[in-house]
Structures are given as structure tokens and as C-alpha cells.
């Protein structure tokens, strides 16, 4: 019987395993489906990682290697090339790999760190023919950065989220041309840093409020038809123009990977696509914790590490000190005006934390604003922000002392814009 | 980055905050506003006067788990040299093992800056004649 089984050996799983070990657990096993640890960081060869956590600017592989090296000095076990097929409510893990075949392992606690997957062409329904040359941006990133294959020569990118922006730069640096980045919304979904260093530095045209309405080509992509969209994001007839290209990269959203979570009967949050969690990252199933992109899609790996550190420590606490108080003794966090979602969705009243980190995303671009936390209509805490955007996850720390003064069962996080952007 | 007569607006990239900076020229001196910390002020001045970037890319790798090894310039290099520097990496072919931090190219494009590997790549098999295989791999990668 393991103390802890961590499902996923990317940044979330690595940080959780490390934190659990540091907190005293010894029989820890990481299950990873790829041939190596590191997860998505292995293909993120650009820098900008670790600014918060290590106070250094690292590339993805360097960030991953830090944790891998820390773990090598511990008793944490790792099974690579291993697929988890099922997690049962009794904390049994069904897995499959070439060396051991089908195995069922038991654990006193589990951390779900499966990450996320990319939205595909089928999911967004782009009309047209189905030629070769349409890739999701992350797939293209893996092909170029790890497999050494160039995806195409004349590329159009749909979606201005971080992956699309990063790949625009990558393709240009490998000798390809990026004709345009097409973004459905009137603002970009990526970090300001990436707009500056990927689009502006390389003069890639960014078409906001536009979308691809058709992909043309016989065996290979030959053209895309782009049109402007209205306030309801519907294409405006007559605004179409054609771009000659041979490749389309889709950067149209990430979806937390939660087949295992749902199968185990764990309570999900439809707004995040991940499990509902308490402030210690525990799910509705006692002893099962979740962290990283499987809970909600992150922009910064530093936040993933902080969240996963909490999950790992909580798993250790669960195993060493026994179960937490039941659901009834928790506040529910509600997303108020301007807020799309919060993580966690619940905060236990008797939490040990001196301050609870609440992550959230706004549903529109805001200038100078106040983030307010309300209870029974009263503001119990507020925070100033210069600029808020849906593409940039925010964090506030709610002091326990303030939480203790609250009698109502629901807390609401909302945004009040002071000065429009 | 947008520039008008004597002021430039840009986004600071020193930390994820992304402060909106405004850099104006006053009698030969650059002044920065909108920064949230001193590092941002420095960044604003350098970015307008002499912008630099760390270049990250991959080079050909032989004998490792993957055919590419990620690399980066150890220090930022002048921004205008980025594309030229990327081409300078085309001719490199490494052979596993490669250690993270190992220098793969000294003094890229005469900047004095070295290019280093950003991950350790262990050998997955031991070739019989390494030299011959490296030449083959370099040729098929298009390098000379």
C-alpha cells in the first residue's frame, strides 16, 4: 500500500510528490504516461518560467529538471510509460504498462495531476475540406521542439492564447513564415509578455475580432478564409479575405483532463472543467486531491507549483494526521460580478492556513479595479489591481483572521472597475 | 511597443505583472513612468535604447531520447541579432550525453555570449563509431 500515488509526472505531480515527501510521507509513487518526467515543460523550451518561484528566468526543461533532481535524492518511485485506466472511490489505481502489465495498486491518498488537453478543429467546427496541415499549437510545439519535425512553411494561427503566440515566434525562428494570428475576441488571450515578445518583436499581424470561416485545400492546406465577427462573434458577410498558406495552427483553448476524476464520481465544476476543491486542494472524495491544469488551466507554472505544493502537503497531513472535517463546515466561494470562476470553490472553516490563496479569472478586460470579497452583502476584504484580463489568472490571499469573522456560508468574489482600460 | 514623436509605450516583461511603461526622451535622457519596481525602470530604458533578448531554440542531437536538444543564450543578445543567431545554431550537432548548462557554442554572432543546453540528455544507446554517425546525422539535418 502506497502512502501516496501521484497521477501525472508534469510540474503539478512533481511539486506535489516533493511536498508530500518533505511533509513526511515515504512510500510515494508517480505514474507518468510519457517516457520521461517533466510533462508539458519538456516541450516549452522558451523562458519565463520560475520568475515567482525561483526568482530566476528559466526555460521549461530547466524548471522541470530542478524538481526531478530534488526528487532523485528521495525515495519517491516513478513508473514511466504507464497509463492509469481508473481510480476508484476506495483509492485503488488501475494501471497498465509494458513491463508490469495490468496492475491494481492501493494508496492511502491520491493526487490527480493529469494536466489538460487542447481543443481541436472538430470541437470548434471550422468548415471546409480536411487536408493535412491542420495541427493544434501544442502538437506543433512537440513536433518542432522534441521530434525535430517542421510542421509547415506558411502558417496561419487561430487563437492568440499563449501557445499560439509562442509558436508564432518558434516557427519564424525555424525559418517558417507566420502570415497572421487570428483572434475571435476583441482582446488577446495571452500574457502581455508574450504579445510583446512574440507578436510585436516579429511583426506578426494580429487580427482581433476575426475568425477562420473556411479551410481550403485538397491533400494539403492551401488557403484559409478569414472574416471579421460582430459582438455576438458571428462572421460578418462581406468582410472575408483569403490567405494563401500551407499550415493552420489551432490555439483555441485547453480542457482539463478529467476522465479519471469523473469516473471516480468526484464533484466537478462546470466553469473550470476540473474538480471542485477545498482550500487544501482536496476533492469531494476524502484523501483524493487535485492540482495543476487538471483543476483549472493555468498561465504560470509558478502558480501550478504553489497549488501542487499545497496538495502534496495536504495529502501528507491526511495520511499522517487523519481526515479533515466534513463538507458542512466549509464556506462556498461564489463568482460574483466580473468573475468567471474561483479556485478553491470551498474553504474549510477550521483550515490551518494563515491565509487562503484564492485564484480567479475575470470575464472581461478591466483597468484600475478593486477586487472585493463579500459576505452577506458586506465587503470583508478588498484588493487593488492595475489591470485585469481573462487571459491572466489572478491571486488574492484571504487572511484567516478575516475569514473567522464571517458567519454567512457563502463568500462572493467580484470586481469593481474604478477606471476603465 | 508603439512610438510617437518622443515617447514609447511598451509592456514590461521582467516579471509576470506586465506593467504598462511609458518611456519619454527629455533632452537626451530617457525617463520611465508606469513601472511597478526599479527593475522595470531599468528595463524600460534598455528596451528603448538597446533592446536585448534571450534566444531559445533547439539543436540537432544524436544518441539521446529525442533528436533535438533545447538550448538558450546564456545572456540576452541584441534583439536585432535574434534571427541571425537562430541560423547560426543550424550547424550544431550534439552527441549524447549532454549536461544541462553545457556550452554548445561560444560567442554566438560575435556577441561574446555563449549558448548552453537547457536540459540533460542521457545517451540511449552506444554507437560503434561515434564520429562517423555524427557526420551522418549532421548531413541529414542539413548542416555541413
Q: What is the DSSP string of A174-220?
A: TT-EEEEEE-SSSS--S-HHHIIIIIITTT--EETTEEEEEEE-SSB
Exposed (0-12), middle (13-18) or buried (19+): which is A131, by Cβ within 10 Å?
middle
pLDDT of residue B144: 41
Residue with cell 513508473: A79
CA dist A104 and A95 (Å) reads 6
CA dist B21 and A187 (Å) reads 19
> Which cell numbers hold the place of A210?
476575426
Query: What is the torsional sign of CA A60, A61, A66, A70?
Result: positive
Are the CB atoms for A22 and A319 separated by under 8 Å?
no
Residues 42-71 of B with CB under 8 A from A: 53-58, 60, 65-68, 70
pLDDT of residue A298: 94
Residue A295 touches partner B, C-beta closer than 8 Å: no
pLDDT of residue B126: 53
What residues does A104 pair with on adjacent strands? A94
Query: What is the torsional sign of CA A149, A152, A155, A158?
Result: negative
User: CA end-to-end span of chain B, whole Å?
Assistant: 38
pLDDT of residue A421: 57
pLDDT of residue A309: 96
Average pLDDT of the residues in A284-294: 97
When scoring A41, A46, A171, A421 by the number of chain B Cβ atoms within 10 A, the one with the most, hence best to mutate, is A46
Q: With an 8 Å Cβ cutoff, are A47 and B54 in contact?
A: yes
- Closest B-chain CA to A385: B17
- Closest A-chain CA to B140: A148
pLDDT single digits (tens) A188-200: 888 877 888 899 8
* Mean pLDDT over the full length of chain A: 94
Residues 121-140 of B with CB under 8 A from A: none
Which member of B65, B72, B86 has the closest CB to residue A59?
B72
Average pLDDT of the residues in A142-160: 96
Q: What are φ and ψ of residue A50, in 5° steps?
A: 90, 5
Q: What percentage of residues in chain A have a pLDDT greater than 70?
A: 98
Are the CB atoms for A196 and B10 separated by under 8 Å?
yes
- Closest A-chain CA to B73: A47
- Answer yes or no: is pLDDT of B142 > 70: no
Shortest distance between the Cα of A110 and any Cα of chain B, in A, equals: 29
- Answer yes or no: is pLDDT of B133 > 70: no
CB pairs < 8 Å spanning A and B: 90
DSSP per-residue codes, A300-329: -HHHHHHHHHHHHHHHHHHHHH-PPPPGGG
Shortest distance between the Cα of B13 and any Cα of chain A, in A, equals: 5
pLDDT single digits (tens) A354-385: 999 999 999 988 989 999 999 988 999 999 99
Residue A86 touches partner B, C-beta closer than 8 Å: no
- Closest A-chain CA to B64: A146
Q: What percentage of residues in chain A have a pLDDT greater than 90?
A: 83
- Answer yes or no: is pLDDT of B3 > 70: no
pLDDT single digits (tens) B51-97: 999 999 999 999 999 999 999 999 999 999 999 999 999 989 999 99
Residue with cell 561560444: B106
pLDDT single digits (tens) A229-283: 999 999 999 999 999 999 999 999 999 999 999 999 999 999 999 999 999 999 9
Which member of B13, B16, B36 has the closest CB to residue A197?
B13
pLDDT of residue B131: 56
CA–CA distance from A208 to each of A159, A180, A200, A236 (Å)? 9, 11, 14, 14
pTM for the full predicted model: 0.91
- Answer yes or no: is pLDDT of A103 > 50: yes
Amino acid at each position: 500500500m502506497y502512502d501516496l500515488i501521484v497521477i501525472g509526472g508534469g510540474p503539478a505531480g512533481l511539486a506535489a510528490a516533493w511536498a508530500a515527501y518533505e511533509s513526511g510521507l515515504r512510500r510515494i509513487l508517480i505514474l507518468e504516461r510519457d517516457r520521461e518526467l517533466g510533462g508539458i515543460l519538456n516541450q516549452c523550451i522558451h523562458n519565463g518560467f520560475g520568475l515567482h518561484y525561483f526568482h530566476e528566468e528559466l526555460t521549461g526543461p530547466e524548471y522541470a529538471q530542478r524538481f526531478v533532481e530534488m526528487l532523485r535524492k528521495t525515495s519517491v518511485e516513478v513508473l514511466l510509460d504507464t497509463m492509469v485506466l481508473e481510480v476508484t472511490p476506495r483509492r485503488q489505481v488501475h494501471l497498465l504498462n509494458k513491463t508490469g502489465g495490468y496492475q491494481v495498486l492501493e494508496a492511502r491518498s491520491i493526487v490527480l495531476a493529469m494536466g489538460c488537453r487542447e481543443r481541436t478543429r472538430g470541437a470548434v467546427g471550422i468548415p471546409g475540406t480536411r487536408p493535412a496541415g491542420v495541427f493544434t499549437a501544442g502538437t506543433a510545439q512537440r513536433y518542432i521542439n522534441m521530434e525535430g519535425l517542421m510542421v509547415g512553411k506558411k502558417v496561419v494561427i487561430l487563437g492568440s492564447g499563449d501557445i499560439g503566440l509562442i509558436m508564432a515566434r518558434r516557427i519564424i525562428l525555424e525559418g517558417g513564415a507566420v502570415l497572421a494570428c487570428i483572434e475571435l475576441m476583441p482582446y488577446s488571450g495571452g500574457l502581455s509578455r508574450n504579445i510583446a515578445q512574440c507578436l510585436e518583436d516579429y511583426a506578426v499581424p494580429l487580427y482581433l475580432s476575426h475568425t477562420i470561416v473556411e479551410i481550403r485545400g485538397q491533400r494539403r492546406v492551401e488557403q484559409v478564409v478569414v472574416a471579421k465577427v460582430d459582438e455576438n462573434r458571428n462572421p460578418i458577410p462581406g468582410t472575408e479575405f483569403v490567405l494563401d498558406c500551407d499550415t493552420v495552427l489551432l490555439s483555441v483553448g485547453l480542457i482539463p483532463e478529467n476522465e479519471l476524476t469523473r469516473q471516480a464520481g468526484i464533484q466537478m465544476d462546470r466553469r473550470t472543467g476540473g474538480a471542485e476543491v477545498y482550500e487544501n486542494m482536496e476533492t469531494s472524495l476524502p484523501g483524493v486531491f487535485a492540482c495543476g491544469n487538471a483543476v483549472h488551466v493555468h498561465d504560470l507554472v509558478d502558480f501550478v507549483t504553489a497549488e501542487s505544493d499545497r496538495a502534496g502537503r495536504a495529502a501528507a497531513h491526511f495520511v499522517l494526521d487523519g481526515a479533515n472535517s466534513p463538507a458542512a463546515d466549509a464556506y462556498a466561494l461564489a463568482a460574483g460580478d466580473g468573475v468567471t470562476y474561483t479556485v478553491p470553490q470551498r474553504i474549510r472553516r477550521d483550515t490551518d492556513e494563515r491565509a487562503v490563496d484564492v485564484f480567479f479569472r475575470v470575464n472581461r478586460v478591466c483597468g484600475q479595479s478593486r477586487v472585493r470579497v463579500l459576505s452577506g452583502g458586506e465587503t470583508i476584504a478588498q484588493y487593488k489591481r492595475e489591470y485585469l484580463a481573462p487571459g491572466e489568472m489572478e491571486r488574492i490571499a484571504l487572511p484567516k483572521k478575516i475569514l473567522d469573522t464571517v458567519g454567512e456560508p457563502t463568500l462572493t468574489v467580484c470586481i469593481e472597475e474604478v477606471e476603465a482600460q | 511597443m508603439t512610438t510617437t514623436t518622443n515617447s514609447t509605450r511598451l509592456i514590461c516583461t521582467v516579471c509576470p505583472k506586465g506593467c504598462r511603461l511609458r518611456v519619454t526622451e527629455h533632452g537626451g535622457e530617457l525617463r520611465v513612468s508606469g513601472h511597478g519596481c526599479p527593475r522595470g525602470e531599468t528595463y524600460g530604458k534598455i528596451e528603448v535604447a538597446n533592446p536585448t533578448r534571450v534566444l531559445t531554440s533547439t539543436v540537432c542531437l544524436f544518441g539521446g531520447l529525442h533528436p533535438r536538444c533545447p538550448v538558450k543564450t546564456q545572456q540576452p543578445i541584441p534583439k536585432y541579432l535574434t534571427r541571425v543567431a537562430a541560423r547560426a545554431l543550424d550547424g550544431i550537432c550534439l552527441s549524447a550525453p549532454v549536461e544541462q548548462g553545457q556550452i554548445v557554442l561560444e560567442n554566438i554572432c560575435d556577441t561574446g555570449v555563449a549558448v548552453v543546453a537547457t536540459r540533460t540528455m542521457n545517451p540511449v544507446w552506444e554507437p560503434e563509431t561515434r564520429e562517423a554517425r555524427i557526420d551522418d546525422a549532421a548531413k541529414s539535418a542539413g548542416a555541413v
